[in-house]
Structure 1
Amino acid sequence: MSARRTREVSSLDIARLLAAQAVMFYHLVFLSWAEAERSRGIRAVVGNPVIFYGSQGWASLGWVGVQIFFVISGFVILMSAENKSASDFLIGRIARIVPGLWVFSTLSALVLLGCGVLPARELAIRLMRSLALFPVGPWVDGAVWTLVTEAVFYGAVFACIKTGAIGRITSIMIASTIFNLILWGAVLLGEAGIFGDAGRDLASLAASYKLRVTLVTTNCYFVAGAALYQMFMRRSLRINAAIFAANYTASLISTYYAGLSSVGVSRFGQDPLAAAEVWGVATLVMSACVLSRVGSGPRFVRLATIAGLVTYPLYLINQITGGFILGAMYRTGLAPMVCVILTAVFCTGLAGLFALLLERPLQVRLRGFLKRFERSAGVLKEA
Structure 2
Amino acid sequence: MSVSNPAEGPPASSRTRAGAPAGRLAVLDGVRVFAALAVLFYHYVVLASAWGEPTEGVFPVARGFAVYGWLGVEIFFLVSGFVICMSAWGRTVGDFAVSRVSRLFPAYWAAVAFTSLVLLNWPEVREVERITDVVVNLSMLQGGLGVPNIDDAYWTLFVELKFYVLFAVVVMRGLTYRNCVLFCGVWTLAGVVAPTVDNGVLSFFAVPSASPYFIAGIAFYLMRRFRPNAVLWAVVLAQFLLAQHHVGARMVASLGKTATEHIRDWPAHLIILLGFAVMAGIALGAFDRVHWRWLPHAGALTYPLYLIHMMAGLTIIHHFRSEVAPVPLAIGVTAVMLAIAWIMHRLIERPLGRMLRDSLRRGVQDIRSGTPGPSRPSIDLVPAQPSAPEAERLPARS
Against the structure 1 CA distance between its residues 290 and 342, is the aligned structure 2 distance closer, same or farther, given a 3 Å change threshold? farther
Question: What does the per-residue CA deviation read over 1:174-203, in whole Å, with 9 as the maximum and x for residues that have no partner?
Answer: 3334555x549xx8xxxxxxxxxxxxxx69
For the pair 1:164 / 2:174, whether they are aligned, the reply is: yes
Against the structure 1 CA distance between its residues 212 and 10, is the aligned structure 2 distance closer, same or farther, given a 3 Å change threshold? farther
Residue 278 of structure 1: which of 242, 260, 271 is its match? 271
Residue in structure 1 matched with residue 384 of structure 2 by the alignment:
none
Q: Distance in 1 between matches of 2:39 and 2:174?
A: 36
Q: Distance in 1 between matches of 2:335 and 2:120?
A: 24
Identical-pair percentage:
28
Give SS of 2:152's match: coil
**Higher-helix-fraction structure:** 1
For the pair 1:365 / 2:375, whether they are aligned, the reply is: no
Against the structure 1 CA distance between its residues 213 and 311, is the aligned structure 2 distance closer, same or farther, given a 3 Å change threshold? farther
Tell me if the contact between 1:109 and 1:140 (Cα under 8 Å) persists in the aligned partners: yes
Runs of 4+ in 1 over 6 A off after TM superposition: none
**Bigger mean CA offset, 279-288 vs 9-18:** 279-288
Against the structure 1 CA distance between its residues 89 and 236, is the aligned structure 2 distance closer, same or farther, given a 3 Å change threshold? same
Residue 28 of structure 1: which of 38, 41, 44 is its match? 44
Tell me if the contact between 1:256 and 1:275 (Cα under 8 Å) persists in the aligned partners: no
Residue in structure 2 matched with residue 12 of structure 1 by the alignment:
28
Structure 2: unaligned runs, 5 residues or longer: 1-8, 13-20, 376-398
User: Aligned residues, how many?
Assistant: 343
Residue in structure 2 matched with residue 147 of structure 1 by the alignment:
157
For the pair 1:96 / 2:103, whether they are aligned, the reply is: yes
Offset at residue 97 of structure 1 (A): 0.3
Residue in structure 2 matched with residue 230 of structure 1 by the alignment:
222
What letter matches 1:296 in structure 2?
A: R
For the pair 1:306 / 2:297, whether they are aligned, the reply is: yes
Q: Distance in 2 between matches of 1:286 and 1:163?
A: 27
Offset at residue 365 of structure 1 (A): 0.7
Against the structure 1 CA distance between its residues 106 and 49, is the aligned structure 2 distance closer, same or farther, given a 3 Å change threshold? farther
Question: What does the per-residue CA deviation read over 1:107-130, in whole Å, with 9 as the maximum and x for residues that have no partner?
Answer: 11111111235666x332332332
Tell me if the contact between 1:146 and 1:213 (Cα under 8 Å) persists in the aligned partners: no
Residue in structure 2 matched with residue 349 of structure 1 by the alignment:
339
TM-score in terms of structure 2 length: 0.77
Against the structure 1 CA distance between its residues 213 and 349, is the aligned structure 2 distance closer, same or farther, given a 3 Å change threshold? farther
Against the structure 1 CA distance between its residues 297 and 24, is the aligned structure 2 distance closer, same or farther, given a 3 Å change threshold? closer
Alignment RMSD: 2.9
For the pair 1:51 / 2:55, whether they are aligned, the reply is: yes
Q: Distance in 2 between matches of 1:213 and 1:30?
A: 30
Tell me if the contact between 1:310 and 1:355 (Cα under 8 Å) persists in the aligned partners: yes
Give SS of 1:261's match: helix
Against the structure 1 CA distance between its residues 311 and 153, is the aligned structure 2 distance closer, same or farther, given a 3 Å change threshold? same
**Bigger mean CA offset, 277-286 vs 358-367:** 277-286
| Equivalent runs, 1:95-114 vs 2, <5 Å | 95-114=102-121
Q: Distance in 2 between matches of 1:161 and 1:273?
A: 38
Offset at residue 376 of structure 1 (A): 4.4
For the pair 1:65 / 2:76, whether they are aligned, the reply is: no
Against the structure 1 CA distance between its residues 52 and 5, is the aligned structure 2 distance closer, same or farther, given a 3 Å change threshold? farther
Answer with 1 or 2: which has the greater Rg.
Answer: 2
What letter matches 2:55 in structure 1?
A: I
Give SS of 1:379's match: coil
Q: Distance in 2 between matches of 1:165 and 1:103?
A: 33
What letter matches 1:101 in structure 2?
A: Y
Residue in structure 2 matched with residue 196 of structure 1 by the alignment:
none
Against the structure 1 CA distance between its residues 14 and 133, is the aligned structure 2 distance closer, same or farther, given a 3 Å change threshold? same
What letter matches 2:308 in structure 1?
A: I
For the pair 1:292 / 2:285, whether they are aligned, the reply is: yes
Tell me if the contact between 2:89 and 2:175 (Cα under 8 Å) persists in the aligned partners: no
Residue in structure 2 matched with residue 86 of structure 1 by the alignment:
93
Against the structure 1 CA distance between its residues 28 and 272, is the aligned structure 2 distance closer, same or farther, given a 3 Å change threshold? same
Structure 1: unaligned runs, 5 residues or longer: 34-42, 188-201
Against the structure 1 CA distance between its residues 148 and 178, is the aligned structure 2 distance closer, same or farther, given a 3 Å change threshold? closer
Offset at residue 289 of structure 1 (A): 4.5
TM-score in terms of structure 1 length: 0.80
Q: Distance in 1 between matches of 2:301 and 2:347?
A: 11
Offset at residue 133 of structure 1 (A): 1.5
Offset at residue 324 of structure 1 (A): 2.3
Against the structure 1 CA distance between its residues 107 and 376, is the aligned structure 2 distance closer, same or farther, given a 3 Å change threshold? same
What letter matches 2:226 in structure 1?
A: R
Question: What does the per-residue CA deviation read over 1:229-263, in whole Å, with 9 as the maximum and x for residues that have no partner?
Answer: 11122335221111111111111112332122222
Tell me if the contact between 2:44 and 2:314 (Cα under 8 Å) persists in the aligned partners: yes
Residue in structure 2 matched with residue 174 of structure 1 by the alignment:
185
Question: What does the per-residue CA deviation read over 1:30-77, in whole Å, with 9 as the maximum and x for residues that have no partner?
Answer: 11x1xxxxxxxxx2xx47467344133221211110011111000000
